[in-house]
């Protein structure tokens, strides 16, 4: 690990000077880990990140960075102006946690509880957003101490509600854009990263073009006719219809979607119906998600799901109402920007530690920023070096090795300097 640390310094020290940067990165690593553990122990749900935002803003102000608070409800934006005028780069970190009850013995384990959709639940940074906050706070401190060497402006965007705002509320990247986060000054390019529990510390994965899926949330209400459970012939069973619809949806993926082009997924995650074992209820509700990496495939799947749900319901004597809500667009890495910045990433991490990946069916609302300005989003290793146990994101056992955070700080720093100064 010591050799890796020395190697990571080489790419950036050429730009800022060896001795000063050595000390700055040695100092910042300890702070970043402390910040990360604080946020992990004190998580807050989407659009409710009040204390998180307060700590971020206080840190940025202490660095002499111009700070805007209350952006998209709880977001924080810092603006750092270099010594010379030039382009504007944005660096983004998401700050919200998830309604997940943590299950481990970490000294900084979250014991926070809250209410989500009417249910009491634990709250946990089960997707690593705590590491993203800490990394960007570290980058802000390093760059603020070297602003005399920066040509241009850096915007630090700490974004709430990446996991989606509560029902009935706006939030996330789309609201930040609506409120002008990419303007005044106008952003030329934006960079984002995501820690990954299944990728080894010290490594980075990337892909030009589509790297993460467009995500739709769908709600299907199936209307039948209530009757006694002993006399199904006198009613219309919405539960049976729902089962047929779910089964039919899978044939869209297995028989109609060209999976040799891109991957696609239809998942029903929640079914609600009935109140008693001997009553066939009047209605049922299905809630789920569609993930696509190709716009034409997305259009086909949404159209076929709508047709199929309505037709199946009608065939069994019922009716179906179908509603889709877009959660994210395709996370699309601008190919020219990737080509331009890849040498910067390799300079810091080393050629052998930067690998090309396949697209994933996860979703990211960073994609909305990329619809407005060129963007580059990549994955940072968070699994213990040589480790074999990687718990998935969004699970109670999810964990990240803190030794992977420094590479994130260095990579963002190098990319910022190279984009603005070269």
Phi, psi of 334 (to 5 degrees): -60, 115
Q: Are 407 and 32 in contact (CB under 8 A)?
A: no
- For 271, counting Cβ atoms within 10 Å of its Cβ (0-12 exposed, 13-18 middle, 19+ buried), the class is middle
3-state class percentages of the chain: helix first, strand second, coil last, to nearest 5: 40, 30, 30
> Judging by DSSP bridges, how do beta strands 84-94 and 113-116 pair with one another?
unpaired
List, in sequence order, every residue forming a beta bridge with 190; answer none if it has no partner: 90, 375
The catalytic residue among 162, 163, 334, 364 is 162
Q: Are 293 and 214 in contact (CB under 8 A)?
A: yes
No. of helices (H) and no. of strands (E), the chain: 10, 18
The catalytic residue among 44, 94, 96, 402 is 96
348-380 burial, b at 16+ Cβ within 10 Å, e below that, comes to bbbeebbeeeebbbbbbbbbbbbeebbbbbbbb
d(CA 170, CA 164): 9
d(CA 97, CA 398): 13
What Rg do the C-alpha atoms of the chain give, in angstroms?
Answer: 24
Q: Are 134 and 380 in contact (CB under 8 A)?
A: no
> Judging by DSSP bridges, how do beta strands 189-200 and 84-94 pair with one another?
parallel
> Judging by DSSP bridges, how do beta strands 375-383 and 204-206 pair with one another?
antiparallel
Give catalytic status of residue 162 as yes or no: yes
209: Cβ–Cβ under 8 A, 6 or more apart, which residues? 332, 333, 335, 359
Give catalytic status of residue 365 as yes or no: no
From its phi and psi, is residue 209 left (phi > 0), alpha (psi between -120 and 50) or beta? left
Active-site positions?
A: 96, 162
């Amino acid at each position: 690990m010591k050799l890796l640390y020395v190697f990571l310094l080489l790419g950036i020290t050429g730009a800022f000077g060896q001795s000063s940067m050595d000390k700055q990165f040695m100092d910042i690593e300890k702070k970043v880990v402390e910040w990360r553990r604080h946020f992990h122990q004190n998580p807050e749900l989407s659009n409710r990140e009040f204390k998180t935002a307060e700590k971020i803003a206080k840190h940025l102000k202490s660095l002499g960075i111009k700070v805007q608070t209350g952006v998209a409800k709880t977001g924080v934006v810092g603006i750092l102006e270099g010594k010379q005028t030039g382009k504007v780069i944005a660096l983004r970190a998401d700050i919200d946690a998830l309604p997940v009850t943590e299950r481990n013995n970490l000294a900084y384990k979250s014991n926070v509880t809250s209410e989500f959709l009417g249910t009491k639940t634990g709250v946990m940074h089960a997707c690593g957003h705590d590491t993203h906050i800490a990394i960007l706070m570290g980058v802000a401190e390093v760059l603020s101490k070297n602003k005399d060497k920066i040509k241009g402006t850096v915007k630090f965007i700490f974004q709430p509600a990446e996991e989606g705002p509560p029902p009935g509320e706006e939030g996330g990247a789309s609201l930040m854009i609506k409120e002008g986060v990419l303007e005044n000054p106008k952003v030329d390019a934006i960079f984002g990263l995501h820690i990954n529990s299944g990728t080894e510390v010290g490594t980075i994965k990337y892909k030009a073009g589509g790297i993460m899926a467009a995500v739709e949330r769908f709600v299907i209400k199936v209307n039948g006719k209530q009757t006694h459970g002993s006399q199904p012939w006198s009613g219309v069973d919405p539960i049976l219809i729902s089962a047929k619809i779910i089964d039919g949806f899978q044939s869209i993926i297995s028989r109609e979607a060209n999976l040799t082009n891109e991957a696609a997924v239809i998942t029903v995650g929640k079914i609600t119906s009935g109140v008693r074992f001997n009553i066939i209820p009047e209605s049922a509700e299905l809630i789920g998600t569609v993930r696509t990496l190709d716009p034409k495939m997305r259009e086909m799947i949404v159209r076929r799901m709508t047709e199929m749900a309505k037709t199946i319901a009608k065939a069994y004597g019922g009716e179906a109402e179908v509603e889709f809500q877009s959660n994210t667009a395709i996370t699309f890495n601008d190919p020219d920007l990737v080509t331009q910045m890849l040498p910067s990433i390799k300079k810091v991490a080393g050629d052998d530690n930067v690998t090309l990946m396949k697209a994933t069916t996860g979703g990211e609302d960073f994609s909305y920023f990329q619809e407005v300005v060129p963007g580059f989003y990549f994955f940072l290793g968070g699994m213990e070096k040589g480790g074999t146990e990687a718990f998935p994101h969004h699970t109670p056992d999810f964990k990240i090795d803190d030794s992977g955070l420094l590479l994130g700080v260095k990579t963002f720093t190098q990319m910022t300097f190279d984009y603005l100064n070269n």
